[in-house]
Amino acid sequence: MSHDTRIGSDERSRCAWVGSDAEYERYHDEEWGTPLRGDRALFEKIALEGFQAGLSWITILRKRPRFREVFDGFDPAIIAAYDDDDIARLMADAGIVRNRSKIEATISNAKLVDAMPPGELEALLWSFAPAAHVPPSSFAEVPAVTPESEAMSKALRKRGFRFVGPTTMYALMQSAGMVDDHVDGCWRAARVVE
């Protein structure tokens, strides 16, 4: 076993970033790298990846249930109507990341998604998924940014989205299964059969 994988309490080999946290193991096994579809689900990913900027993902993952509660299940139509009272309510909630810029960006982004025809956000984001992606053998092969994540970021920014930088968008591509970055030796790693 390499330093890029770790054996969990269930004896499964996983990407080492999971560590020994049970919630991280569940997230890795059930969500990370699994293709995610739907405007609402992908809007939630954009919002949470934006809130994660500068923090660890486990912080956001542990706060995700509260985020979902106070952001009305990440329904863009509801969030698009948020006003100053909602911003004050969110800023006072210790169960989420209380960053005014990120809260305001989530509301602004919700307005953009709400104005799109159904399915457009999903189609837009998935249009940047690479046609071919070779899963990495090691963490050293995992990029922070790719040409596709740069193009996705640029397209979203052009539409007015905020907190959608290329590094954040590559994290979204990983978590939403647009790329498979489970390393060699991880039980979830897909390998191309030649």
Residue 14 phi, psi (nearest 5): -125, 165
For residues 41 and 121, is the Cβ–Cβ distance under 8 A? no
User: Do residues 74 and 47 touch, judged by C-beta distance below 8 A?
Assistant: yes
**Strand, helix or coil at 13?**
strand
- Bridge partners of residue 97, in order along the sequence: none
Active-site residue identified among 25, 49, 122, 148:
49
For residues 11 and 1, what is the distance between their CA atoms, to the nearest angstrom?
A: 12
CA angle 42, 169, 46 (to 5 degrees): 30
Catalytic residue among 17, 57, 126, 187: 57
Name the catalytic one among 27, 126, 150, 187: 27
Longest CA span, the chain: 58
Identify whether 57 is a catalytic site residue: yes
Give the H/E segment covering residue 170: helix 166-175
Provide the annotated active-site residues.
27, 49, 57
